Chains A and B, each alone.
Chain A
Amino acid sequence: MCWFSGKRLRASGSIKDATAPEIHFVRDVQPILSKLGCNAGTCHGSAKGKNGFKLSLRGYDPEYDYQALINDLSGRRFNRVKVEESLMLLKPTAEVPHEGRQPLKPGSREYNILRQWIVEGTKFEDPLKNRPQSIEVLPSEVELDLPGRSQHLLVLAHYPDGNVREVTRDAILSSNNGDVAEVKNSVVTGLRRGEAAVLVRYEGCYATKLVTVMGDRTGYKWQDVAEYNYIDKLVDAKLKKMKIVPSELCTDAEFVRRVSLDLTGLPPTPERVRAFLADETPGRQKREKLIDELLASEDYNEYWANKWADLLQCNSEHLGQKGVWVFRNWIQHSIAENKPYDKFVRELLLAEGSSYRNPEVNYYRALRDSGKITEDVSQTFLGVRFNCNKCHDHPFEKWTQKQYYQFGAYFARVAIKRGSLGKESVRSFTGDLMQVPGEEIVYLKDDGEVQYPKTGMDVAPKVPVGEAPEPPKDGDRRVAFVNWLVSKDNPYFAEAMANRAWSYFFARGIIDPVDDIRGSNPASNPELLEALKEDFIESSFNVRHLMRNICLSRTYQLSINKNRWNEDDNVNFSHALPRRLSAEQMLDAIAIATGDRPKFKGLPAGMRPVELPDGMVAGNDFLSLFGRPKRQSACECERNSNVTLAHALNLINGTTISESLAAPTNRIAKIVEGEKDDQKVVEDIYLSVLNRPPTDKESGAVDFSAGGSRLEVAQDLTWALMNSPAFLFNR
């Protein structure tokens, strides 16, 4: 990797002032290139550089930058004979035309450092010794009591030899939430109540400083509430710190709908709602019983199999028809038997053999090459995004480009060949017929290496954090990787899943986005995440156990109604957040509301959409409109849960709802036919659509004599309720 390793410049010392400090490239010059923005992604740090001069992005590669300044084009950029005529001084001062204008002022501190560096002989010294190991930001906590208040930050760099330097003026500071706090010249100023993180970077080191702007909380008083389990304890601790009061518990009707949708993807049937509301068991036990029932249901298995089929990219474009069926079935069986998460991942990543006989090999068929394996395995199972460092060291994180290829080297010998069982044709998302291989065999080649693009040389496999034993020369390299990956000591594996699981119940992760864990994206409640992770590990990676504890917490059972003290909180889980139903939940909810399951091409009668094995469902406009992912990406963001005019128009006018509403044998028709009491009809419709009984006022508002038949009135009522937020959102 480094052309300079083991070599070092020595100063001649002939004119060296006894007290004048020497300028070192790595320690002194490189920070200036970063601070001035020379190596920014929009300037010389871009992939192609600018105007013939390229630096490594944000200075991650000091050797490269030294080469660029000194050796590129036969020493074009420095001039030892007339130092001031060095191009590296003429350009940034705009003495010669410079599109980046004038970042460097002649005579400035930065100018003098660059100049002196050339005078002293453009020394380059060992980056390992002269780059800091870590940076520290002082003070340790930043709490601003009111908007408008400021705090100076101090940045200290710690070097391998134990030296500490104050580097504030060359460090780069930015706020991740510019509405709450801004940073200028290392002073952070509160703008409004809330929490922000100040991201600090200096020479490949990163630190995050949390800033709390409290605001006026006169009159605030914490009121103790019951803590159902460890989750509540840790959530409440944060709420107290931020002077927030959590919302009240949600009602039983709200709870039965919420927890059913969250655990099984289905709204509760009217019968279940009635039974739950009628049950006189004390609230907390009653809710616990329901949670356990749902966790044990087949609906749970189907719903979560669908979720994992998304993340594992189960789609026929790569897997073929038979492939998606066997792969999805394997996933569902794994969930049904509550396979420990570590075992599940181990089986997936060590898979070999026929795609028909060993369904788990289909994951490798979906990913196919070591680059995509690297990116998707890291994002899915570590919650870490490795795609930036494919081309350069990660701009905001410790991940290096080399680590990307070291990671990929574990999978360098995974190969795919045609099996003996023929070709299949499948319909792509655009509706075109395309040929995909039938059976494929995933196997391990005897050779195969990954090359590090900077040098073109093979790289040996190495895990990005911690340690793993060196894989055997001829054996399956993946074993060493997987042992490391699913280890209880892996700092990311359990945490990523705990955080991901949490997000499915709270609309956001404790770290959010859930698959972008990095120092500059801090957890809103690190203690909570740590406790969830520990709980998950102690349960031997039991996903149901984790979800059960989440659902049992009082925090999960809070209302969406806010109070004066939590109305501006969206990150501390002091109240529930409404979430739009997913595409599949929406179809199931329509089926339960009307008693008629919408029919689609590619969806057999009576089949729940979460049972569809294939991401490539041609012609299913409703599911794709409401954001069902195509399963081409490992990112949670592939599933879209936004709300747009197109959604509203489809619900008002679209055929999906209107056809189900008008189906002659649907639930509405039956109830209107069989039930003579108008109030009972209204109650049934409310229970079917909104999963709760109507209030007296709501019952009284329905007038069956206002015109049209009783059936039409009932259909209109159903339609109106289905277009209300209470139906469209999980609240």
Chain B
Amino acid sequence: MFVRKHSLAGLLIWVTVAFAAGADDTKPVSFYHDVVPILKRSCTGCHHPDKLKGELDLTTYVAFQKGGKHGPAFKSGKPDDSRVIEEVSGEEPNMPKEGDPLTKEEVALFERWIREGAKDDTPPEANSFKLSEPPVYTALPAISAIEFSPDGNVLAVSGYHEVVLHKPDGSGLVARLVGESPRIESLAFSPDRKLLAVSGGAPSRFGEIQIWNMETHKETQSFKVAHDSVYGVSFSPDGERLAFGCADKTVRVISVNDGKELMKFDNHSDWVLATAFTVDGKRLLSGSRDRAMKLINVGNGQFIDDINKLLENVLCMARHPTQDLVAYGGDLGVPRIYRISDNQGRTAANNDVNLVREFERQPGPVCSLAYSSDGNLIAVGNVNGEVRIYKTGDGSRIATLKENQGAVFALRFHPTQNQLATGGYDGKVRLFEVPDGKLVSAFDPVPIKEGNKVATASAGSH
């Protein structure tokens, strides 16, 4: 029918791949080309670094060789003594636990590969995400993070594999900070303005914290953390520690200098997407899709209390610039401000004692939120493309910005000027005047290679 053209193309590719795999008996078996595809299809779903069934990781050669709790997975040259063959062969093989067993041909392929010496022919670049050249764009990437430097001289915007630094009015590109992580999730400037911390990673592969020197625009540190992209990075007030949230439900604090893990908190029951230190830096607040904002003693990693009643998934959080107040937004779309304090006054009748203010329901989940530098305003972005600006004092709405096309994943107030920068699904940065909400400018944060542009929703909208 209407997709026939594509299916035919797909069929050809598929046939080619099928012929390529293990068709040639005369050539030695390739780990990378023949074995890995089978491991991916049937094994790595359970045997990967975040799951480790049987303490076994099958996502790399080294891990495969090391084996799991029963010892090495194979003995080079000796398929009969290799655990992996024992597990996957026979009438009713142990593995894979679910799904179709390996075919006889596939088992034979494994055996032959071991007999031939179980060599690793993975190309060195296969597991690397490092780029030799800055990325070339044919479409605007969605913007997931925006941050003004504390002095207001630089606007940092997430790209693909990089953070791009712009002049704050969008009049020029200052630098491209190209790093290993394809996804950039969050940005934070150090209190002394000298460093930019970047959290990101590659989903289901690795997480990374990058530290960039803002004078030289060079990456000074890269710390690989967790096995998925990491979220919501924040600096401690003394600038020595970084906190961030992980898909493995942990909150972690590392040292800026050497990346040493200072604290790992695992009391959440879902992904942690946001963190914020208290004004004194002694306590840390983490917000998660488990609906809780948890207060943690940074010194000993002890859980103090949930500061909020569990009403909706915490998708974004912003701490008041000078006080221990936090605003959060979630999937049900009602932004709220809480006092960052434990719940000592809690009673059966009132278990939401820290609630300071509740704003009107937004038309959809809230995916970004920011305080103005004087704490008098908050801006709230939702998935439906709207940004609303409210007075924190009385909760009244003072502006509604409808220019974004698609979800607004990131927004920040300029620290000194009355401006708000937004970005999101459509990939454009927009600058608005505050408080009237007038659009000042809109620009592409990354250079688009002309002539070869693909269709994106940035030209249209929804």
List residues of A whose CB falls within 8 A of some B CB: 3-4, 7-16, 20-21, 23, 28, 52, 67, 70-71, 73-82, 85, 87, 90-91, 94-102, 105-109, 111-113, 116, 119-124, 165-166, 455-457
Q: In the complex, what distance in Å separates the CA atom of A112 from the CA atom of B10?
A: 7
Residues of A near B20 (CB, < 8 A) are: none
Residues of B near A81 (CB, < 8 A) are: 135, 137-139, 141, 160
The list of the 10 closest CB pairs from A to B, nearest first, reads A12-B459, A10-B460, A97-B48, A74-B144, A107-B13, A75-B142, A21-B2, A96-B204, A109-B7, A112-B6
The answer to whether A107 and B10 have CB atoms under 8 Å apart is: yes
Answer yes or no: B194 CB below 8 A from chain A CBs. Answer: no
Residue on B nearest A78 in the bound complex, by CB = B142
Residue on A nearest B98 in the bound complex, by CB = A101
Answer yes or no: B69 CB below 8 A from chain A CBs. Answer: no
A71 to chain B, nearest CB (A): 4
Extra contacts, 14 of them, besides A3-B383, A82-B182 (Cβ < 8 A), are A16-B455, A74-B144, A74-B424, A79-B141, A94-B44, A95-B40, A96-B203, A96-B205, A101-B98, A106-B13, A107-B9, A107-B13, A108-B7, A122-B457
Residue on B nearest A169 in the bound complex, by CB = B1
Answer yes or no: B367 CB below 8 A from chain A CBs. Answer: yes
Residue on A nearest B136 in the bound complex, by CB = A81
B48 to chain A, nearest CB (A): 4
The answer to whether B142 and A80 have CB atoms under 8 Å apart is: yes
Q: In the complex, what distance in Å separates the CA atom of A76 from the CA atom of B409?
A: 11
Q: In the complex, what distance in Å separates the CA atom of A11 from the CA atom of B455?
A: 7
B305 to chain A, nearest CB (A): 24
A28 interface neighbour in B3, B7, B96, B427, Cβ under 8 Å: B3
A94 interface neighbour in B41, B205, B363, B409, Cβ under 8 Å: B41
Residues of A near B427 (CB, < 8 A) are: 80
Residue on B nearest A107 in the bound complex, by CB = B13
The answer to whether A15 and B453 have CB atoms under 8 Å apart is: yes
Residues of A near B3 (CB, < 8 A) are: 21, 23, 28, 109, 112-113
Answer yes or no: B99 CB below 8 A from chain A CBs. Answer: yes
Residue on B nearest A87 in the bound complex, by CB = B203
The answer to whether B462 and A7 have CB atoms under 8 Å apart is: yes
Residues of A near B50 (CB, < 8 A) are: 97
Residues of A near B9 (CB, < 8 A) are: 107, 112
The answer to whether A71 and B271 have CB atoms under 8 Å apart is: no
The answer to whether A80 and B141 have CB atoms under 8 Å apart is: yes
The answer to whether A121 and B456 have CB atoms under 8 Å apart is: yes
The answer to whether A52 and B40 have CB atoms under 8 Å apart is: no
The answer to whether A97 and B455 have CB atoms under 8 Å apart is: no
Residues of A near B455 (CB, < 8 A) are: 11-16, 119-121
The answer to whether A8 and B6 have CB atoms under 8 Å apart is: no
The answer to whether B41 and A101 have CB atoms under 8 Å apart is: yes
Residue on B nearest A74 in the bound complex, by CB = B144
* Chain A CB within 10 A, most for which of B6, B205, B363, B424: B6
Q: In the complex, what distance in Å separates the CA atom of A7 from the CA atom of B332?
A: 20
The answer to whether A80 and B140 have CB atoms under 8 Å apart is: yes
* Chain B CB within 10 A, most for which of A10, A12, A97, A105: A97
Residues of B near A120 (CB, < 8 A) are: 455
B182 to chain A, nearest CB (A): 7
Q: In the complex, what distance in Å separates the CA atom of A81 from the CA atom of B131?
A: 14
Residues of chain B from 114 to 154 with CB closer than 8 A to chain A in the complex: 135, 137-142, 144-145
A115 to chain B, nearest CB (A): 8
Residue on A nearest B145 in the bound complex, by CB = A74
Residues of A near B273 (CB, < 8 A) are: 73
| A-B pairs with beta carbons under 8 Å apart, 20 shown | A3-B384, A7-B461, A10-B460, A10-B462, A14-B455, A15-B453, A15-B455, A16-B455, A52-B271, A75-B142, A82-B160, A94-B41, A97-B51, A106-B13, A108-B10, A111-B10, A112-B3, A112-B6, A119-B454, A456-B334
Q: In the complex, what distance in Å separates the CA atom of A389 from the CA atom of B75?
A: 54
Residue on B nearest A102 in the bound complex, by CB = B41
Answer yes or no: B320 CB below 8 A from chain A CBs. Answer: no
Answer yes or no: B420 CB below 8 A from chain A CBs. Answer: no
Residue on B nearest A23 in the bound complex, by CB = B3
B384 interface neighbour in A4, A96, A101, Cβ under 8 Å: A4
Q: Given the known inter-chain contacts A91-B204, A97-B45, A101-B42, please indicate yes or no for A121 contacting B13, CB distance below 8 A.
A: no
The answer to whether A107 and B14 have CB atoms under 8 Å apart is: yes
Residues of B near A121 (CB, < 8 A) are: 455-460
* B contact face: mostly helix, strand, loop, or mixed: loop
Answer yes or no: B234 CB below 8 A from chain A CBs. Answer: no
The answer to whether B229 and A80 have CB atoms under 8 Å apart is: no
Q: In the complex, what distance in Å separates the CA atom of A109 from the CA atom of B427?
A: 29
Residue on A nearest B50 in the bound complex, by CB = A97
Answer yes or no: B410 CB below 8 A from chain A CBs. Answer: yes
B59 interface neighbour in A4, A97, A101, Cβ under 8 Å: A97
A407 to chain B, nearest CB (A): 23
Q: Could you mark each residue 338-378 of chain B with 1 if its beta carbon is under 8 Å from any beta carbon of chain A, else 0?
A: 00000000000000000000000101110100000000000
The answer to whether B461 and A9 have CB atoms under 8 Å apart is: yes
Residues of A near B138 (CB, < 8 A) are: 81
Residues of A near B364 (CB, < 8 A) are: 3, 67
The answer to whether B204 and A71 have CB atoms under 8 Å apart is: no
The answer to whether A14 and B453 have CB atoms under 8 Å apart is: yes
Q: Given the known inter-chain contacts A15-B454, A109-B6, please indicate yes or no for A94 contacting B139, CB distance below 8 A.
A: no
B431 to chain A, nearest CB (A): 20
Answer yes or no: B111 CB below 8 A from chain A CBs. Answer: no
Q: In the complex, what distance in Å separates the CA atom of A8 from the CA atom of B40?
A: 38
A572 to chain B, nearest CB (A): 40
Q: Given the known inter-chain contacts A96-B204, A99-B46, please indicate yes or no for A456 contacting B459, CB distance below 8 A.
A: no
Residues of A near B144 (CB, < 8 A) are: 74-75
Residues of chain B from 267 to 299 with CB closer than 8 A to chain A in the complex: 270-271, 273, 289
The answer to whether A3 and B363 have CB atoms under 8 Å apart is: yes
Answer yes or no: B390 CB below 8 A from chain A CBs. Answer: no
* Chain A CB within 10 A, most for which of B3, B48, B185: B3
Residues of B near A10 (CB, < 8 A) are: 459-462
Q: In the complex, what distance in Å separates the CA atom of A179 from the CA atom of B453?
A: 56
Q: Given the known inter-chain contacts A12-B460, A14-B459, A82-B160, please indicate yes or no for A76 contacting B7, CB distance below 8 A.
A: no
Q: In the complex, what distance in Å separates the CA atom of A9 from the CA atom of B425?
A: 12
B99 to chain A, nearest CB (A): 5
Residues of A near B44 (CB, < 8 A) are: 94, 97-98
Answer yes or no: B233 CB below 8 A from chain A CBs. Answer: no
Residues of B near A12 (CB, < 8 A) are: 455-460
Answer yes or no: B5 CB below 8 A from chain A CBs. Answer: yes
Residue on A nearest B407 in the bound complex, by CB = A71
Q: Could you mark each residue 431-462 of chain B with 1 if its beta carbon is under 8 Å from any beta carbon of chain A, else 0?
A: 00000000000000000000001111111111
Q: In the complex, what distance in Å separates the CA atom of A14 from the CA atom of B141?
A: 17
A1 to chain B, nearest CB (A): 11
The answer to whether B51 and A99 have CB atoms under 8 Å apart is: yes
The answer to whether B460 and A11 have CB atoms under 8 Å apart is: yes
Answer yes or no: B252 CB below 8 A from chain A CBs. Answer: no
Q: In the complex, what distance in Å separates the CA atom of A8 from the CA atom of B462?
A: 4
Q: In the complex, what distance in Å separates the CA atom of A184 from the CA atom of B278?
A: 60
Q: Could you mark each residue 1-26 of chain B with 1 if its beta carbon is under 8 Å from any beta carbon of chain A, else 0?
A: 11101110111011001000000000
Residues of B near A11 (CB, < 8 A) are: 455, 460
Q: In the complex, what distance in Å separates the CA atom of A65 from the CA atom of B140?
A: 23
The answer to whether A71 and B365 have CB atoms under 8 Å apart is: yes
Residues of A near B10 (CB, < 8 A) are: 107-109, 111-112
Residues of B near A107 (CB, < 8 A) are: 9-11, 13-14, 17
Answer yes or no: B183 CB below 8 A from chain A CBs. Answer: yes
The answer to whether B40 and A102 have CB atoms under 8 Å apart is: yes
Answer yes or no: B247 CB below 8 A from chain A CBs. Answer: yes
Q: Could you mark each residue 54-75 of chain B with 1 if its beta carbon is under 8 Å from any beta carbon of chain A, else 0?
A: 0000010000000000000000
The answer to whether A80 and B51 have CB atoms under 8 Å apart is: no
Q: Given the known inter-chain contacts A10-B460, A76-B203, please indicate yes or no for A116 contacting B6, CB distance below 8 A.
A: yes
Residue on A nearest B40 in the bound complex, by CB = A94
* Chain B CB within 10 A, most for which of A14, A73, A122, A124: A73
Q: In the complex, what distance in Å separates the CA atom of A123 from the CA atom of B406?
A: 11
Residues of B near A102 (CB, < 8 A) are: 40-42
A99 interface neighbour in B45, B271, B457, B458, Cβ under 8 Å: B45
